[in-house]
C-alpha cells in the first residue's frame, strides 16, 4: 500500500461569526518522509511520550505508576526543554490569605474571557498536591528563615503564590529532579536525541505510533497503544525569543497532519523582559524580578509603566510587552531598562542566576539597569484537549504548552504553565495507561509504505536562510503589534515558502523543523487575520479594542469528504460567561 495524500484546510471569514465558512486552500502533506514499515526497526510500548519537560515527565511517571510500559522520546538531551529555561516558578495556593477562588479569578481576568473556568478550577486546585510531588521528587524550593516556602508575586496575581528555586532558576531545579526521577523508574525507557517526524495512523485515523530519526540518524518506528504529545511550544517562529532552539512547534504540526483539532493559534505571548545584548542569545529576566520591586525605565531613565496600567510593572504580560515596544519606538532605542537598584534586599542574593549571567556582560544588577526587550515566550493556543488531555484523534493525547486545555484563555498568567504541566501531565499519563489496558497495542501494518517525491537536482533549498526569513517576517508582521494588511501579506509569503519547501526539501530533521514552523506560522496568521479585534496577546492596531461577539475560540476542526481528503474548518466556539470576561 502506498500513501501520499494532501489536506485542504477551510477557514471561516470573521464577518460571518460562525454562520457561513469562507474557504482558504491550505495544502499539507500527510507524511513528511518516505518510509516502508517492514524495513524499519520497531520499538513497542503501551504509552509513548514525546517530550521530556515537566508535562512529559509527569505524564510518563504517572503512566508507569499505573502499570504501563513507557518510552520518552526527547528531541535533544533529557534536560534541554522549555521547562529548564523557566525562571519564575510554580503558581500554587499555599498562603493563609490566598484562596483557590482568588487564583481562579486572577487567571480568568488575565485570560480576557476565553478561559474554561472548569479547567482553571481543576488545575488550580491541583496546585498544592503538585508542589508536594515535586518536593518528594527532591526539588529544593527556596524557603524563609523558619523553613516555610518563600512565596513571591508576579504580574496578574493578587497574592504571593509563586514557589521558586534558586531565586529565578526554578526550571533548572525542577528539570533536574524530574530527569533523575524518570531515570530511576524501571518501566520508563529513554530515547534522547530522537527526533519525531510524524504520527502514524491506523484504521479510522487512530494514532498507533510514531516515525522518528534515532540518535544514530536512522529512521525508526515506535508502536504504541497511546501517544502523548508534550512537545512544548514554538517560540523559534520569531526572531526574538526566550525559547531554546528545539521549540519549533513539532508536536502541533504533527497533530494537524494527523487530523487533530487545534484552536486559538493566533495567541502567542511575548515576555516583556529578555536580556538584550546585540549578538548574544536572548536570556529571560524573570517576572519575579519585577515582583520583587524592579522597575522599567526608558533610555532617559524615566519610569513609564504607571502611564500604561494601574498595576505598573505587575500588569499582565501583554500590557507590559506592548508598553516596552512602544517606548522603544518613541525613544528610538533598541531596548528599555530594568532597574533593581531600589530593591530592599541585595539583588545578587535574591537572583544569583540572573546576576551571574549579567556579570558576563559587565552588568552589576545592583547598580546598572539591565537592557531588556520583549521576546516570544509562550504559545497560548495549541491542540484542543478535554479534561483528561485527550485530543480529537483516537489514541492521541496532548499536555503542556503544545495543548489548549482551557487554562490560559487569550493570555497566560505567569507561572501557571509549570502548574498546568504538572497537573495535566499526571492526569493524562494515568488516563492514557488506563486506555492502554482497554485498547491494546495495534501493530503497524507491515506492508505500509509511504512514498514522497522530494528534492531537486536543479535547485537547492537554503534552510538556514529561509528559517531566518521566516523568523524575521513573523517578528515584524505577527509580533507584538499586528494589522490586517501585515498579517495578510505575511500569510501570502508563508504560503509561497511552504510550497517551495514541500517541493525542494530532503527529509532530514532541519527541513522537517522548517516545514513544521511554516505550518504553525500559517495557521497562526490565518487565525490572527480572522480575529478582527484585540484580545489578550493578540493586538491589532486596526481593531484596537476587544469586541463582545468575538469572545469565542478560533477552532480549526478536521472533516473528510467522500474521497477521504481531510480538510479543516476554522470556526468560532463561543465561551460561556465567566469571571472577568470582557
Task: Please give the Cα distance from 568 to 6 (Å, whole number).
Answer: 12
**Domain edge (last residue) among 438, 459, 489:** 438
Instruction: Give domain status of residue 191, yes or no.
Output: yes
Does one domain contain both 289 and 189?
no
What pLDDT score was predicted for residue 573? 63
For residue 300, what is the domain's CATH number? 3.90.700.10
Does one domain contain both 125 and 166?
yes
**Domain edge (last residue) among 376, 405, 424:** 376
Q: Tens digit of pLDDT per residue, the chain (582 long)? A: 233 333 333 333 333 334 445 455 667 788 999 999 999 999 999 999 999 999 999 999 999 999 999 999 999 999 899 898 887 799 999 988 999 999 999 999 999 999 999 999 999 999 999 999 999 999 999 999 899 999 998 888 999 999 999 887 899 999 999 999 999 999 999 999 999 999 999 988 899 999 999 999 899 999 999 999 999 999 999 999 989 999 999 999 999 999 998 999 999 999 999 999 877 667 888 888 898 899 999 999 999 999 999 999 988 888 899 999 999 999 999 999 999 999 988 999 988 888 998 998 999 999 999 999 999 999 999 999 999 999 999 999 999 999 999 999 999 998 999 999 999 999 999 999 999 999 888 888 888 888 876 655 566 788 999 999 999 999 999 999 999 999 999 999 999 999 899 888 887 899 999 999 999 999 999 899 989 999 999 999 999 999 887 788 888 776 544 333 344 556 666 654 333 333
Instruction: Please choose, from the candidates 399, 515, 514, 444, the residue with its C-alpha nearest in 3D space to the C-alpha of residue 210.
Output: 444
Instruction: Please choose, from the candidates 309, 332, 311, 333, the residue with its C-alpha nearest in 3D space to the C-alpha of residue 322.
Output: 309
What are residue 445's DSSP bridge partners? none
Q: Where do we find the cell 512547534?
A: 249
What pLDDT score was predicted for residue 505? 82
Does one domain contain both 368 and 383?
no
Task: Please give the Cα distance from 550 to 266 (Å, whole number).
Answer: 13
Half-sphere exposure of 304 (CA within 13 A, CB side): 22
What pLDDT score was predicted for residue 13? 36
Instruction: Give domain status of residue 326, yes or no.
Output: yes
Does one domain contain both 150 and 245?
yes
Instruction: Give domain status of residue 173, yes or no.
Output: yes
Does one domain contain both 301 and 384?
no
Q: Where do we find the cell 527541513?
A: 511
What pLDDT score was predicted for residue 2? 31
Instruction: Give domain status of residue 12, yes or no.
Output: no
* Number of domains, the chain: 2
pTM of the model: 0.91
Instruction: Look up the domain containing 391 and give its range.
Output: 40-268+378-438
Instruction: Give domain status of residue 534, yes or no.
Output: no
Contact 273, 284 (CB under 8 A): yes
DSSP string computed for 480-507: SSB-HHHHHHHHHHHHHHHHHHHHH--S
**Domain edge (last residue) among 326, 346, 376:** 376
**354's grid cell:** 540572573
Cβ-based neighbour number of residue 334 at 10 Å? 11
What pLDDT score was predicted for residue 564? 37
Does one domain contain both 301 and 209?
no
What is the set of active-site residues? 317
Burial letters 438-467, b for 16+ CB under 10 A, else e = eeebbebeeebebebebeeeeeebebeebb
Task: Please give the Cα distance from 427 to 443 (Å, whole number).
Answer: 26
Does one domain contain both 322 and 406?
no
What pLDDT score was predicted for residue 17? 39
Instruction: Give domain status of residue 304, yes or no.
Output: yes
Instruction: Give domain status of residue 485, yes or no.
Output: no
Does one domain contain both 242 and 126?
yes
DSSP string computed for 376-426: EEEE--EEE--TT-B-SSTTEEE-GGGEE-SSSTTSPPTTHHHHHHHHHHH
Does one domain contain both 264 and 277?
no
Does one domain contain both 123 and 248?
yes
For residue 66, what is the domain's CATH number? 3.50.50.60
What pLDDT score was predicted for residue 292? 86
Does one domain contain both 82 and 145?
yes
Does one domain contain both 133 and 250?
yes
Q: Where do we find the cell 497533530?
A: 255
Instruction: Give domain status of residue 548, yes or no.
Output: no
Q: Which DSSP category does 313 fall into? A: G
Amino acid at each position: 500500500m502506498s500513501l501520499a495524500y494532501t489536506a485542504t484546510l477551510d477557514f471561516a471569514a470573521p464577518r460571518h461569526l460562525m454562520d457561513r465558512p469562507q474557504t482558504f486552500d491550505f495544502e499539507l502533506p500527510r507524511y513528511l518522509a518516505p518510509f516502508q514499515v517492514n524495513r524499519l526497526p520497531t520499538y513497542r510500548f503501551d504509552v509513548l511520550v514525546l517530550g521530556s519537560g515537566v508535562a512529559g515527565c509527569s505524564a510518563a511517571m504517572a503512566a508507569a505508576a499505573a502499570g504501563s510500559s513507557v518510552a520518552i522520546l526527547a528531541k535533544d538531551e533529557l534536560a534541554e526543554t522549555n521547562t529548564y529555561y523557566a525562571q519564575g516558578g510554580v503558581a500554587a495556593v499555599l498562603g493563609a490569605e490566598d484562596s483557590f477562588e482568588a487564583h481562579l479569578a486572577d487567571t480568568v481576568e488575565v485570560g480576557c474571557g476565553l478561559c474554561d473556568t472548569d479547567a482553571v478550577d481543576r488545575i488550580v486546585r491541583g496546585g498544592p498536591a503538585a508542589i508536594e510531588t515535586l518536593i518528594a521528587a527532591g526539588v529544593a524550593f527556596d524557603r524563609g528563615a523558619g523553613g516555610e516556602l518563600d512565596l513571591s508575586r508576579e504580574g496578574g496575581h493578587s497574592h504571593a503564590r509563586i514557589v521558586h528555586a534558586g531565586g529565578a532558576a526554578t526550571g533548572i531545579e525542577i528539570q533536574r529532579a524530574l530527569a533523575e526521577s524518570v531515570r530511576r523508574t524501571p518501566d520508563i525507557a529513554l530515547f534522547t536525541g530522537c527526533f519525531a517526524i510524524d504520527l502514524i495512523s491506523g484504521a479510522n485515523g487512530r494514532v498507533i505510533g510514531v516515525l522518528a530519526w534515532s540518535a544514530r540518524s536512522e529512521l525508526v518506528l515506535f508502536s504504541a497503544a497511546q501517544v502523548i504529545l508534550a512537545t512544548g511550544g514554538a517560540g523559534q517562529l520569531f526572531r526574538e525569543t526566550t525559547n531554546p532552539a528545539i521549540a519549533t512547534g513539532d508536536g502541533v504540526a504533527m497533530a494537524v497532519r494527523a487530523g487533530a483539532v487545534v484552536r486559538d493559534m493566533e495567541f502567542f505571548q511575548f515576555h516583556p523582559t529578555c536580556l538584550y545584548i546585540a549578538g548574544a542569545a536572548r536570556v529571560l529576566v524573570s517576572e519575579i524580578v519585577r515582583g520583587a520591586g524592579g522597575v522599567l525605565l526608558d533610555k532617559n531613565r524615566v519610569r513609564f509603566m504607571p502611564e500604561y496600567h494601574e498595576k505598573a510593572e505587575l500588569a499582565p504580560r501583554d500590557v507590559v510587552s506592548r508598553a516596552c515596544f512602544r517606548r522603544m519606538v518613541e525613544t528610538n532605542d533598541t531596548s528599555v531598562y530594568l532597574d533593581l537598584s531600589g530593591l530592599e534586599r541585595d539583588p545578587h542574593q535574591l537572583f544569583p542566576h540572573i546576576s551571574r549571567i549579567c556579570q558576563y556582560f559587565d552588568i552589576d544588577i545592583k547598580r546598572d539597569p539591565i537592557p531588556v526587550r520583549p521576546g516570544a515566550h509562550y504559545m497560548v493556543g495549541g491542540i484542543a484537549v478535554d479534561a483528561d488531555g485527550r485530543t480529537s484523534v483516537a489514541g492521541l493525547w496532548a499536555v503542556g504548552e503544545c495543548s489548549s486545555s482551557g487554562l490560559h484563555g487569550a493570555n497566560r498568567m505567569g507561572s501557571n504553565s509549570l502548574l498546568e504541566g504538572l497537573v495535566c501531565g499526571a492526569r493524562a499519563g494515568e488516563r492514557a495507561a488506563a486506555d492502554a489496558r482497554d485498547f491494546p497495542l495495534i501493530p503497524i501494518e507491515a506492508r505500509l509504505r509511504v512514498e514522497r517525491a522530494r528534492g531537486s537536482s536543479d535547485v537547492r533549498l537554503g534552510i538556514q536562510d529561509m528559517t531566518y526569513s521566516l523568523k524575521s517576517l513573523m517578528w515584524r508582521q505577527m509580533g507584538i503589534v499586528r494589522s490586517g494588511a501585515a498579517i495578510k501579506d505575511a500569510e501570502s509569503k508563508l504560503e509561497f515558502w511552504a510550497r517551495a519547501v514541500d517541493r525542494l526539501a530532503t527529509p532530514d530533521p532541519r527541513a522537517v523543523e522548517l516545514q513544521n514552523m511554516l505550518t504553525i506560522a500559517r495557521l497562526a496568521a490565518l487565525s490572527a487575520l480572522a480575529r478582527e479585534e484585540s484580545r489578550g496577546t493578540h493586538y491589532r492596531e486596526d481593531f484596537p479594542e476587544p469586541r463582545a461577539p468575538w469572545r469565542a475560540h478560533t477552532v480549526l476542526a478536521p472533516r473528510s469528504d467522500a474521497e477521504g481528503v481531510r480538510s479543516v474548518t476554522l470556526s468560532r466556539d463561543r465561551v460561556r460567561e465567566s469571571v472577568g470576561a470582557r
